[in-house]
Structures are given as C-alpha cells and as structure tokens.
Amino acid sequence: MSSLQTTAREPAWKGALLLTGGFVVLLWVLEIFDAATGNPLDAYGVRPRSEDGLVGIATAPALHFGFDHLVSNTVPVLVLGFLTLATGIARGLAATAIIWVVGGLGVWLFAQPASNHAGASVLIFGWIVYLIVRGFLNKRTTEIFIGVAVFLLYSSALLGVLPGQPGVSWQGHLFGAIGGFLAARLLTTRRRSEASITY
C-alpha cells in the first residue's frame, strides 16, 4: 500500500473514532441530565401507535432508562459504531440513519400499546446485521473480515430479537436488525454487472 493510500485512509478512521466517541459522550450527558432532573427524558421514548410517541422515533436511540441500561450499551456502541463508520463515514452515517428510522418506526407500528421503548440497542442490533451482511454484498476482503469477526463476537446477542426477557424491547432489537439488513442492501457499493445472455 502506498503512503498516499495510507494518508487517504487515516481521516476516515479518525473521523469514525471522533464521531463514535462524541455520540457516546452525548448518551452519557443526556442520561446524567435525565437522572439529575427526575427522568423527564424517559417520556421521549417510542410509545407505539401514540401520536406523542412518534417523537420517540427521532429521540429514543439516544435515551436510556437508567445508568445500568446505558452501561450495558456503551461498549457495543463504541465498537460497532466505530466499525460501521471506519470504512466510510458517509456510508456509515447513511446506514445508521436507516437503522434509526426503520427501528423506531417498526417499534411504533408493531410493539404493544401502552409501552415505552428507548435505548441505543436498536442501533447495536442494526449495526451487527449491517456489518455481517455488507462485506458479503460488497465482496470486499476487509469488510468480509470485519463481518466474520462481528458474527463471532455478537452472534449470540442476536437471540435478543426473540421475545422472552421481561422489560427488554425485543421489538427494538428485531426492527433494528431489519434496518441493518436493509441498510446493507441499499448501500451496497459493489458494481453489479449486467447478466450476459447467449443466443
């Protein structure tokens, strides 16, 4: 690899680190503020099929129900968010936006009424699926390697898309994962050659 190529790659890695770290700092600032003021931000989760709950589609992934909830999400957000952005900031941000919207909208449409859903796990599950799928669609060695590593590390976590654990938004996990798959499909950069037809 030439020094020019190395230099060209450095900003993407640095930008990924800066953006992911900044997002985690934001999560902690919001939770500290929420805890210090009597948890008013908890009302801004996704509340299914409620008009007020629509706001949660935009806000819920940045909010958490207590520090235990946030602590459990912090390391996966750092690792998976960084990996999502590191091979392309614009594509990683676009993937995150797709996961964010699809996950929130899916919860709003299909989760049980009179419930409240928040937490970055919707992004975590979306990033896991996105990272696993995108390399195989793009057929890029680095991205395939990242996808395999993520699968080995987080495949057991994907069981969280199934119902069963009280107080855990499996719907957020499921629709986040669906968002990750859609993002990988929509943002595939591999050129598809036209099929040749022999007569």
**Gap between the Cα atoms of 100 and 163, Å rounded:** 21
Q: pLDDT of 121-154, one tens digit each?
A: 999 999 999 999 998 898 889 999 999 999 999 9
| CA 8 to centroid of chain Cα atoms | 26
| Averaged pLDDT for residues 56-61 | 97
More confident position, 13 or 79: 79
Task: List Cα–Cα distances, 77 to 95, 123, 156, in angstroms.
Answer: 14, 8, 17
| Averaged pLDDT for residues 7-31 | 87
Q: Name the one residue in this structure whose structure tokens are 């900003």.
A: 11
Task: List Cα–Cα distances, 144 to 20, 72, 129, in angstroms.
Answer: 21, 27, 12
More confident position, 103 or 157: 103
Instruction: Enumerate domains of the chain plus CATH numbers.
Output: 3-186 (1.20.1540.10)
Instruction: Calculate the average pLDDT of the chain.
Output: 88
Q: pLDDT of 164-185, one tens digit each?
A: 777 788 899 999 999 999 999 9
